[in-house]
Amino acid sequence: MPAHLPDSEHPRIVIIGAGFGGLKLARSLARKPYQVVLLDKNNFHQFQPLFYQVATSGIAPSAIAFPVRKIFHRIPNVHFRMAEVKEVKTDEKQIVTDVGSIEYDFLVIATGADTNYFGNAQIEQNALPMKSVQESLALRNKVIEQIENALISNSAEERKERMTLVVVGGGPTGVEVSGALAEMKRFVLPKDYPELDFEEMDIHLLEASPQLLNGMSEQSSTAARKFLEGMSVKVETGAMVESYDGHTVKVKGGKEISSSTLIWAAGIRGNRLNGIPSDLYKGNGRLEVDDQLKVKGLKDVFAIGDISYMPDEAFPKGHPQVAQVAIQQGVWLAQALTSKGKPMKGFRYKDLGSMATIGRSRAVVDLPIFHFRGFFAWLFWLFVHLMNILGVKNRFFIFVDWMWYYIKFDQNLRLVIRTKDKSE
């Protein structure tokens, strides 16, 4: 069954994934001599760096999700299909999706990454990930529901378990969600639940490596830990979580923590596609590419963003799986595809810096030439993220939400939203 795409005299480029890399590539190819087909299982682009703020009631999910079709209004050579890819047939240059089959001249895999549980099925079953708007909302529901249930607990032990939150993973996501939860505990939840004593509420941040924010400077790692501990987050490094059954977190070495909520932010793994030979996927589920971003072993197939793996002298383990890499690769690949056969220097990632926020007025920023932290780092973090959000309306609403929280120490989105059972 064909996917009902219009005929075109130009070569067809199919991009799988409307994340940072795929979207940037499609936008950069607008009105170029290609027919561009962008595929994604959602009809919206998600701004992943702010998932944790949705999960902690800071901003509305609609503020960080932007309709893909709206981006390409009046751009006739870009076509979007909300579709799930079932199989890639590289020998036939064909993609099989749930809305039909699509032929391609060039294929760009920009499928991003999902949560990595490192093969631990029990943790996968019971922990809460945060790699999509839907998962962020599920986490928001769970946190609020557990506080509601703490009100009606039959014992102090049960109440303590429901009021204990465990975050696994000390990267930017883990640090940021821990800080946001700590501020909810201090400033927001006591007003909603005056019957509860929030001195009983514990927030644990567990990181398996010796320090937080691996990949950032030692100064930023130390500052982040100091900020979090000053907010009463119980930070433990060298703490590898071995199991979680929904009630007890077991840490290597024998320590146990009773908790009904475990937030998993400990790693990511590339989203694989059926039909791509499994031996082409390297460690962490990434496709190895050359400096032209071509997947090694496949013809006319490229990979960009979190799914791509390109080790070089500066990054012997491959580029960091962050938005800026995907964006730069999208821009470079568009230039390469429209260079009219002129040779181009291979892709080289320009590291623009890293940052993480730890609650209100606290952040750490590493730029190529210097590092800073505290209030001005937080302002810098706000500005960078605000400018990267798609849509003036989205930026306005996020800015209003941030300023309201800064002034009032309150959040307006503490809603438990469930899907209705058809049997009701």
Whole-angstrom Cα distance, residue 114 to residue 100? 25
Token pair for 378: 């937080």
- Domain 12-113+269-337 classification at class level: alpha beta
CB atoms within 10 A of CB 247: 13
Query: Would you call 263 helix, strand, or coil by DSSP?
Result: strand
Residue type for position 26: A
The kind and range of the H/E element at 242 are: strand 241-244
What is the average pLDDT score of the chain? 93
Whole-angstrom Cα distance, residue 206 to residue 225? 12
Q: For the ranges 124-128, 281-285, 337-341, which has the lowest average pLDDT?
A: 337-341
CA-based torsion, 230, 126, 420, 19: positive or negative: positive
In the predicted structure, residue 78 carries a pLDDT above the cut 80: yes
Mean pLDDT of 86-115: 96
Token pair for 175: 């640090």
Strand residue runs (E) in 277-418: 281-282, 286-288, 301-303, 308-309, 354-357, 363-366, 371-373
Q: What is the pLDDT confidence band of residue 84, given thresholds at 50, 70 and 90? A: very high
| pLDDT at residue number 137 | 93
In the predicted structure, residue 168 carries a pLDDT above the cut 70: yes
Q: State the Rg of the chain over Cα.
A: 22
State pLDDT tens for residues 341-395.
Answer: 777 889 999 999 999 999 889 999 999 989 999 999 999 999 999 999 988 788 9
| pLDDT at residue number 148 | 95
Whole-angstrom Cα distance, residue 154 to residue 156? 7
State pLDDT tens for residues 222-264.
Answer: 999 999 999 999 999 999 999 999 999 999 999 999 999 999 9
CA neighbor of 312 nearest in space, from 282, 336, 290, 294 = 290
State pLDDT tens for residues 172-197.
Answer: 999 999 999 999 999 999 999 999 99
- Provide the residue ranges of all domains of the chain, joining segments of one domain with +: 12-113+269-337, 121-266
Q: What are phi and psi of 237, to 5 degrees?
A: -100, 165
Q: Which residues pair with 208 in a beta bridge?
A: none
Q: What is the pLDDT confidence band of residue 420, given thresholds at 50, 70 and 90? A: low
Mean pLDDT of 403-416: 77
Angle at Cα 186 formed by Cα 185 and Cα 188, nearest 5°? 70
Token pair for 188: 């927001």
End-to-end CA distance of the chain: 37
In the predicted structure, residue 421 carries a pLDDT above the cut 70: no
Whole-angstrom Cα distance, residue 145 to residue 140? 8
| pLDDT at residue number 382 | 93
Mean pLDDT of 100-114: 96
Q: Which residues pair with 16 in a beta bridge?
A: 39, 109
Alpha helices in 163-205 (DSSP H): 172-183, 189-192
Token pair for 196: 């509860």
State pLDDT tens for residues 34-54.
Answer: 999 999 999 999 999 999 999
In the predicted structure, residue 417 carries a pLDDT above the cut 90: no
In the predicted structure, residue 419 carries a pLDDT above the cut 70: no
12-113+269-337 matches 121-266 in fold:
yes
Percentages (nearest 5) of helix, strand, coil residues in the chain: 35, 25, 40
Whole-angstrom Cα distance, residue 380 to residue 361? 10
| pLDDT at residue number 1 | 56
Token pair for 100: 């039909």
| Percent of the chain's residues with pLDDT above 90 | 84
Q: What residues have CB less than 8 Å from 188, skipping those under 6 apart? A: 57, 409, 410, 411, 414
State pLDDT tens for residues 284-326.
Answer: 899 999 999 999 999 999 999 999 999 998 899 999 999 999 9
Q: For the ranges 37-41, 105-109, 127-131, 399-403, which has the lowest average pLDDT?
A: 399-403
Catalytic residues: 176
CA distances from 286 to 14, 260, 276, 292, 295 (A): 19, 33, 11, 16, 10
- Domain 121-266 classification at class level: alpha beta
Whole-angstrom Cα distance, residue 201 to residue 186? 10
| pLDDT at residue number 405 | 80
* pTM score of the predicted model: 0.93
| pLDDT at residue number 2 | 63
Angle at Cα 89 formed by Cα 83 and Cα 90, nearest 5°? 120
| pLDDT at residue number 418 | 72
